[in-house]
Structure 1
Amino acid sequence: MDLLKSLLVSASGLKAQNGRMRIIAENVANANSTGRTPQDDPYRRKIATFRSHFDKELGAEKVELGKVARDESDFDTRYEPGHPAADANGYVKLPNVNTLIETVDMREAQRSYEANLNVIESTRTMLQRTIDILKS
């Protein structure tokens, strides 16, 4: 694979992981969001998906952020009878966001982002050395 291809493939990975981190940040920001009334559902966790496709012009496989899926798992509940969103039994529906899972997902996305940055930096170094050799 030539060096330009590796740069473009890594750049697509950076963009995809950036989108993933934005979705995770949204989940964490809404981890305590409830509905306004007992009938309203609270925030529902979002899940980033990826899709790969062959770029004919580039001649390589690239990755991009796919559709954002909704986590259909059950909401948590907490007994809080004074809350405006409490049902007749005093329970409030809470988002299905687990901040521990979101933290682990964020760390994984960061590592993936860093790996793509390292590929770009290594490629840049190789290109610079090639230019230096050609100058000699």
Structure 2
Amino acid sequence: MKIGDNILGFGISAKGLSVQRKKMNLIAENLANGNSVRTADGQPVKRKILNVTQKKNVLNQQVVDFSKTMKLATTNPNHISNPTLTTNKTSSTSDLEFKVTEDNTPGDIVYMPEHPNADGNGYVQMSNINTITEMIDMIAASRSYEANLTAFNASKQMAKDSLEI
């Protein structure tokens, strides 16, 4: 989601919202499959984890010289100097790599001889998805989403207030 290059707060918050939304979707998928014993190919269900990394060499340093784009009227030329602003163009999620990996820790082994997936001794390897861990991760992702939304709204309010000056 590309918001705009002029207001970096929008892009940063939008990126955070997107990452947390993907994380919550993956956690919801884990919770939905938590009680499943086997996948379609007969393997035990494994917990999925979202890994987010930033691509290398994507930060384009850009120097903006405001003296060429806008001129401020001042009574004394020494009051305000011509500022330069160095910004990082990070307003889209295209510079992030999302990788879903599986947690390879074994699940609990439960004695259920009547279960169709039981081995010769009557034991079934259950999923390694822990509902409590997933709910804790969901709460953390939800709060991070809310924090990004609050920052986005604050940036929006600052932009609105600056237009009213």
TM-score category of the 2 structures, normalised to the smaller one: 0.7 to 0.9
Moved beyond 4 Å, runs of 4+? none
Aligned to 1:86: 118
- The answer (yes or no) to whether the contact 1:80–1:92 under 8 Å persists in 2 is yes
Q: 1:36 to 1:123 in 2, by over 3 A?
A: closer
Indicate yes or no: 2:34 matched with 1:5: no
Number of residue pairs aligned between Structure 1 and Structure 2: 131
User: Structure 2: how far apart are the matches of 1:113 and 1:52?
Assistant: 19
Cα distance, 1:35 vs structure 2: 2.2
Query: Which runs of 5 or more structure 2 residues have no equivalent in the other structure?
Result: 63-86
Q: In structure 2, the residue corresponding to 1:44 is in which secondary structure?
A: coil
Cα distance, 1:113 vs structure 2: 0.6
Please list the CA deviations of residues 81-101 of structure 1 after superposition, one character each: whole Å capped at 9, or x if unmatched: 111101111111111001111
The sequence identity of aligned pairs, in percent, is 37
Per the normalisation by structure 1, the TM-score is: 0.85
Q: 1:93 to 1:43 in 2, by over 3 A?
A: same
State the AA in 2 paired with 1:44. Answer: K
Query: Which runs of 5 or more structure 1 residues have no equivalent in the other structure?
Result: none
Q: In structure 1, the residue corresponding to 2:120 is in which secondary structure?
A: coil
Q: In structure 2, the residue corresponding to 1:66 is in which secondary structure?
A: strand
Moved more, 50-59 or 99-108: 50-59
Indicate yes or no: 2:101 matched with 1:69: yes
- The answer (yes or no) to whether the contact 1:17–1:113 under 8 Å persists in 2 is yes
Indicate yes or no: 2:109 matched with 1:59: no
Question: What is the root-mean-square deviation in Å for CA atoms of aligned residues?
Answer: 2.4
Structure of higher CA gyration radius:
2
Q: In structure 2, the residue corresponding to 1:97 is in which secondary structure?
A: coil
User: Structure 1: how far apart are the matches of 2:11 and 2:39?
Assistant: 45
- The answer (yes or no) to whether the contact 2:39–2:45 under 8 Å persists in 1 is no
What is the correspondence of 1:111-126 to structure 2 with a 5 Å cutoff? 111-126=143-158
Cα distance, 1:32 vs structure 2: 0.8
Indicate yes or no: 2:130 matched with 1:130: no
Per the normalisation by structure 2, the TM-score is: 0.71
- The answer (yes or no) to whether the contact 1:20–1:65 under 8 Å persists in 2 is no
Q: 1:36 to 1:97 in 2, by over 3 A?
A: closer
State the AA in 2 paired with 1:126. Answer: M
